[in-house]
Amino acid sequence: MATALIIDTDTAQDDCVALLVGLLDPRADLRAITMVAGNVGFEQQVRNAFLTLNVAGRFGEVPLYLGCRRPLVREWVSAENVHGDGSGGLYMDHSGPEPDSEHAVDALVRMAAERPGELSIVAIGPLTNIAMASAKDPAFVDNVKSLYVMGGSNNGRGNITAAAEFNFYVDPEAAKAVFSAGFDITVVPWDPLTLRQAVFGRRKLDRIAALGTPLSAFFTRVCAATLDFDRKVGIDGTTHPDSLTAALLLHPELVRKVSPYHVDVETAGELTRGYSAMSWGVHGLKANAQVIEEIDAEGFYEYLVALLSRSTEPAHAIQGL
């Protein structure tokens, strides 16, 4: 049976690829997309999500709910220096479905309560919406079957600072609240999974570009800005934190090693805002999350190649594709 899920996203670059996973993998039953402030301007993120629905041939089929437009207590921090507009300049002049009028936090609470214990959430942006939903409805935590979080680093490098990964850095108070709330959490950290195990170098990217499908052209365009940025910071390829997180929920066979950890997030440090303290069981702290430590990286790449090989029929023309 397909996995019922919601993707909570700050849609730009690999968030788009994660949406493709949710929209096209036969193991996924994507019930909704919820938007949260993160990577790029909020309205641009919405455009990127609609663009992705269109390129997947699923325009108008999955509801999009708009969520929190800023972190809980801090100012928004953008990653436009990394992702540009998040869609490689692609543009779709569409009329058609608009975002749903229900707020994303209300939609999350409602949908989880309608099917207690059935719905998984893939959270691939700052955790603002998830923290708000758990504050709004104390039953939300138990109604959600599992929460897959892209964020933090497992005693390794950050990306926005030496200490912190972007999603936790942008809204550390939300991340801290989510890890203490009691969810069944699985973490896909930046380091080592994204940074060291799932980087797509030139040969891999050329093979994807040569697939010749609208999806492969889309992938190449949306990843271009990040590829340039990655090379400047010493990463020899594209990074796929968000699509990896969605894929690991749907394909646990891609997980090679996962361990229980106590995860907490720094909100008060001068140099360590958003640092994820991942304690591996020897410090007397009760585990509150499973942290994935090793994946089948080749298996993940081949999975995305197969996904991007599919032919789709976008309903609206996409300029630049």
Question: Taking CB within 5 to 8 Å according to partner kind, which of ligand RIB, Ca ion, none is near residue 266?
Answer: none
Please count the other Cβ atoms lying within 10 Å of the Cβ belonging to residue 31.
19
**64, β-bridge pairs:** 33
Cβ pair 121, 144 in contact under 8 A: yes
Asked if 15 touches ligand RIB (CB under 6 A), the answer is yes
Asked if 291 touches Ca ion (CB under 5 A), the answer is no
By CB atoms closer than 10 A (0-12, 13-18, 19+), residue 251 is middle
Least distance CB 210 / Ca ion (angstroms): 27
Question: Taking CB within 5 to 8 Å according to partner kind, which of ligand RIB, Ca ion, none is near residue 230?
Answer: none
Amino acid identity, position 193: L
Torsion angle of the four alpha carbons 158, 161, 163, 164, in this order, in degrees rounded to the nearest 10:
-60
Of 3-11, 54-62, 67-75, 226-234, the window that binds Ca ion (rule: CB under 5 A) is 3-11
Asked if 53 touches Ca ion (CB under 5 A), the answer is no
* Residues of span 78-97 touching ligand RIB by CB under 6 A: 79
Asked if 159 touches ligand RIB (CB under 6 A), the answer is yes
Q: Which of 166, 218, 219, 229 binds ligand RIB (CB under 6 A)?
A: 166
β-bridge pairing 28-35 and 3-9: parallel
DSSP letter for 2, please. P
**Closer residue to ligand RIB in complex, CB, 143/245:** 245
> Number of H helices and number of E strands within the chain?
12, 11
Q: Please tell me the number of Cα atoms within 13 Å of 295 on its side-chain side.
A: 32
Asked if 167 touches ligand RIB (CB under 6 A), the answer is yes
Q: Which of 3, 7, 15, 87 binds Ca ion (CB under 5 A)?
A: 15
Of 71-79, 116-124, 295-303, 310-318, the window that binds Ca ion (rule: CB under 5 A) is 116-124
Asked if 191 touches ligand RIB (CB under 6 A), the answer is no
Least distance CB 167 / Ca ion (angstroms): 6
**Number of residues in contact with ligand RIB under rule CB under 6 A:** 14
Q: Which of 112, 122, 149, 150 binds ligand RIB (CB under 6 A)?
A: 150
Please count the other Cβ atoms lying within 10 Å of the Cβ belonging to residue 38.
30
Task: Please state, in angstroms and as integers, the Cα–Cα distance from residue 131 to each residue in 12, 58, 62, 238, 319, following that order.
Answer: 21, 29, 23, 29, 37
Interface positions with Ca ion (CB under 5 A): 10, 15, 124-125, 242
Where do contacts with ligand RIB occur on this chain (CB under 6 A)?
14-15, 39, 79, 124-125, 150, 159, 165-167, 190, 241-242
